[in-house]
Structures are given as structure tokens and as C-alpha cells.
Amino acid sequence: MNGKFAVLGNAFYSESFDSVKYIEKGLFCIDESGMIEKVLCPKDREYRRQVRRYKDTGRLVEMKPEEIMLPGFVDLHIHASQWPQAGTALDRPLEIWLGEYTFPLEAKYRDMAFAGRVYEDIVKNTLENGTTTAMYFATVDRRPSVLLAKIAGQAGQRALVGKVVMDDPAANPDFCRDADSRQAVSETEKFIEDVLEFRDSFKQKVYPVITPRFIPSCTDRCLEKLGRLAQQKKIHIQTHCSESDWAHGYAKERYGINDAAALDRFGFISDKTVLAHAPFLEEEDVKLLAQKGTSIAHSPLSNAYFASAVLPLKEFHSKGVNIGLATDISGGYCPSMYSAVRQAVISSRMLNEGVDPSLSRENRGRPDSAITLNNAFYCATVGGGKALDLPIGKLEKGYGFDVQVIDTSFGFPLYYPEKKPEDLLHKILLLCERSNIKQVWVQGQQVK
Ligand code: GUN
Ligand code: FE
């Protein structure tokens, strides 16, 4: 719908880390740019008049009583280029998986036809699963990375895309790396220009991201120059940090300081930075991120394979670090953020209780680590929006109208009214299938 319009229906969104808000028969008034300009409830004085006004002018979209709106999910870390190998070789350690499977796959994207096919498909799959915003790693090559941004933009997804920087000949095969540090940085600069050229041609916008793969992929010269570029450009930054024992230990060995501190020294730690994984952060790293406003992209499914550890999400959040959720395709195998929400809760409960039955109950776990579904829902929506410094993730005035509409008329055990509205949200979060996601809207535009 062009111009102003309104959507009438039931909705949930996160009010805070712990609490959710339910709005029954809300009137969500959307302005020309796709932002929510007002939300009216039946008890509001203006409500009936406004509903009639939008209806009489043919500008009212009415949801059915069994349809529930949720904010679209923000997938804060996803390798679009690894989609063809989702579900492959996750039993191998990270550093082996990268060399044997991932780099050969990522090198294929120089074939622009191949890149186009895969990128169309992953954008379609994530959108259909309710992901309205995604922060993507593409590959080392600039042209297919620009193509990913364009494809996401055209499909109506809000995308943040990085050309991956990986220049160290000792760490990367010749067929999948930047020729040298100079080229790594100049190609990144060109990539940023290319994406900025069409950023605003999409209502929801697409954004370039500075993307050093992780410290082990890059030479010091490259990290120095790229860090300077990041400081100049003040755009989004993404990288992997302290993901596994190996990755965490690597930075210590190379610099004598932690991964996060090394990234900071090079200029990569900012309030627009997203660090993927980071379960092995130490006390001073957590302080650094909280102080700099740097966020973590938590990929619980991937962590079960490559990290062999669980992010202490609740502790890091309580110390002031913002956390979003992510699929990490293909370190995680599933493109649906529902699976990230579910696994985040499950993993945290296992961390809380411990898992080795031979230990006594009191020595088995790490107390106060379990997160609730409300916490996970917050991270998948509001946490992602905060991480990216974008007005998304809530259904309130001043936020983009990014919504997934869940049809609860099948697949949900709704035999009698829920005790409280929140119970219905929890059923949706745990039982929703892709087929229940009837519509998806991004910035006021219907894309599914
Ligand atoms: N660390 C460096 N590259 C990667 C990657 O592609 N996936 C994951 N999970 N970790 C990484
Ligand atoms: Fe990753």
C-alpha cells in the first residue's frame, strides 16, 4: 500500500528484557515512509473514528482474530554464502570446517550466476521465516557481495552486508583471499561506495558493513588499515570474536591480550559493532563491550557445534552488554530465527542446571544462567535493533513497521482460552512453523 494506511489486529512485542506487551485489536497507523506513527487501542477516544476513517478511504488492512502480529526477527549474524552447505560437516572443528568446506564454497561466488541463485534463495528463505532484517557475511569478492545487498534490497529485506576481509596467505588459500592488505582495504572502500549508491533506493534500505572475518584471517597491516577505515567511515562493523577455545587462545598467543581487546586496539570496537559468538569473553572484555556499547550476536545452535560452550547470556546482559540472536548459517544449520530462540532457551537451561548426571545437583550447573522465552524474544527483536542502532524490533510509535503475521488457526493446541495472553506468545515461539507465517511486512511493505 502506498501512502498512509493502518493495520488493525492483535500483536505482541517486547517491552523490556523480561516483559512483553499484548495489544488486542490495535490500530497501527503507518506513515508514507513505513514508520509507525501511532498505535491506538480500543479504549482510546480516537479509536473508533480513526478505524472508520481508514476503512472508508480503503486504507485499512484488517487481520483476522486468529492472526497474531509479532515484530519481524533480526538475524544478527548469518553467512548468506554458506547457505548451500547448511547442515554439512558440523561434526568437524571450526578451523578444519573452514579450510575443507567453507573456503572452497565461498570461492565459488566469483561465478555471478551461482551467487545470484544462492542469494535469491537465502533471502527468500529468511524472509519467509519471518526475518525482516539480516546482518550478512557475503564472501571475500566484492562484486557478488554487492549483488547480495541488491538482491536483499529488491526482495524488500533490510540487509546489512559485508564483503569479507581475509588477506593472510598463511591462513587462507590462494583461491579464497584478498591479494594483499592494500587490496583488502581498497576493495572494502569500493564495496562501501557501491552499496551506498543504491542504499536509499529501497524503502527499508540496505547497508554496507566493514567485515574482517576474524583476527586469525588477517595480517596486522590489514587490521591496522581496515580499523582506520572503520574509524573514518563510522558505519557498521562485524567480526567473529572468542568463538572457540582455539579462536580465543589464538589472539592471546599472537598479541598477549584477549580477542576483544585486540579488536579494540585496531579500532573495531564501537557502538555499531556486532561481535559474533563471544562465549569465551573474560571479565575485562565484558566491561569493554558494555562501556563501548558493542553488541554480541548469539548463535546458540552454532555454539553447540563449534564453540562447545554456552554464552552466559544472562550474566553478560546483566553487566550491560546488549545481545541479539542469530542463526549463523551455516555454523548453525537452520535459517529460522524460531530455532535460535528455542535453542537459546534450551542451551541456557543446560548451562544453568549442568548436564553431567554423575555430578551432584548442586555442583552440576552455573546458577542464574537460565533465560526465559521472553528474554530470547527480546534478543531476537529489540536486542537486534539496538545492536544495529536502527528503530526496529518494537511495534511502537517511531519504529519501522516490520511485522510477521502468525496464523494460529492450525498447528497450535488452542482448545480453551489461555490463562494470560503471554501463554499464547510462548506457544507461538515454540510451535510456529514456516507455514504459520502468513504474511511478512518490512518498513510498511508486504513482502510475503
Ligand atoms: N570464524 C571465522 N569464520 C567463521 C565462519 O564462517 N563461521 C563461524 N561460525 N566462525 C567463523
Ligand atoms: Fe559466523
pLDDT score of 431: 98
Q: How far is CA 124 from CA 85, 152, 373, in A?
A: 17, 9, 26
pLDDT score of 39: 98
Residue with the bigger pLDDT between 303 and 417: it is 303
Average pLDDT over residues 381-399: 98
Q: How far is the CA of 257 from the centre of ligand 1 (A)?
A: 21
Average pLDDT over residues 110-131: 98
- 82 and 218 together in one domain: yes
pLDDT band at 361 (very low <50, low <70, confident <90, very high): very high
Residue 380 CA, chain-centre distance (Å), reads: 7
Residue nearest atom 9 of ligand 1, based on CA coordinates: 331
pLDDT score of 371: 98
- 228 and 250 together in one domain: yes
- 404 and 381 together in one domain: no
Whole-number percent of the chain with pLDDT over 70:
100
C-alpha grid cell for residue 145? 557481495
Average pLDDT over residues 228-252: 97
- Which of 348, 368, 388 lies at the terminal end of a domain, its last residue? 388
- Indicate the residue type of 261: A
- 179 and 211 together in one domain: yes
- 123 and 262 together in one domain: yes
Beta bridge partners of 69: 11, 405
Check pLDDT > 80 for residue 2: no
Average pLDDT over residues 213-231: 98
pLDDT score of 424: 97
Residue nearest atom 11 of ligand 1, based on CA coordinates: 240
Q: How far is the CA of 6 from the centre of ligand 1 (A)?
A: 42
Mutation test of ligand 1: which of 217, 240, 259, 306 has the most ligand atoms closer than 8 Å to its C-beta?
Answer: 240
Peptide bond into 330 cis (omega under 30): yes
CA distance 353 to 370: 8
> How does pLDDT run across 177-214, given as a tens digit for each residue?
999 999 999 999 999 999 999 999 999 999 999 999 99
Which domain, by its residues, includes 405? 5-71+393-446
The CATH number of whichever domain residue 90 belongs to comes to 3.20.20.140
Q: How far is the CA of 419 from the centre of ligand 1 (A)?
A: 43
- 273 and 367 together in one domain: yes
> How does pLDDT run across 75-105, given as a tens digit for each residue?
999 999 999 999 999 999 999 999 999 999 9
Q: Which ligand is nearest to the CA of 331?
A: 1
Beta bridge partners of 275: 239, 296
- 64 and 98 together in one domain: no
- 154 and 190 together in one domain: yes
- 384 and 415 together in one domain: no
Split into its structural domains, the chain has a count of 2
Q: How far is the CA of 113 from the centre of ligand 1 (A)?
A: 24
pLDDT band at 308 (very low <50, low <70, confident <90, very high): very high
- 162 and 309 together in one domain: yes
- 225 and 92 together in one domain: yes
pLDDT score of 61: 98
Residue 371 CA, chain-centre distance (Å), reads: 18
Average pLDDT over residues 12-18: 98
Residues with CB under 6 A from ligand 1: 79, 94, 98, 102, 213-214, 240, 243, 302, 306, 328, 331
The CATH number of whichever domain residue 29 belongs to comes to 2.30.40.10
pLDDT score of 251: 95
Q: How far is the CA of 168 from the centre of ligand 1 (A)?
A: 15
> Which atom of ligand 1 is nearest to 240's Cα?
1
> How does pLDDT run across 425-446, given as a tens digit for each residue?
999 999 999 999 999 999 999 9
Mutation test of ligand 1: which of 88, 214, 250 has the most ligand atoms closer than 8 Å to its C-beta?
Answer: 214
- 380 and 397 together in one domain: no
Residue nearest atom 7 of ligand 1, based on CA coordinates: 331
Mutation test of ligand 1: which of 85, 88, 94, 101 has the most ligand atoms closer than 8 Å to its C-beta?
Answer: 94
Check pLDDT > 80 for residue 1: no
- Which of 340, 355, 388 lies at the terminal end of a domain, its last residue? 388
Residue nearest atom 3 of ligand 1, based on CA coordinates: 213
Average pLDDT over residues 148-160: 98
- Which of 388, 414, 435 lies at the terminal end of a domain, its last residue? 388
Q: How far is the CA of 276 from the centre of ligand 1 (A)?
A: 9
> How does pLDDT run across 36-67, given as a tens digit for each residue?
999 999 999 999 999 999 999 999 999 999 99
Q: How far is CA 338 from CA 81, 327, 342, 376, in A?
A: 21, 9, 6, 10
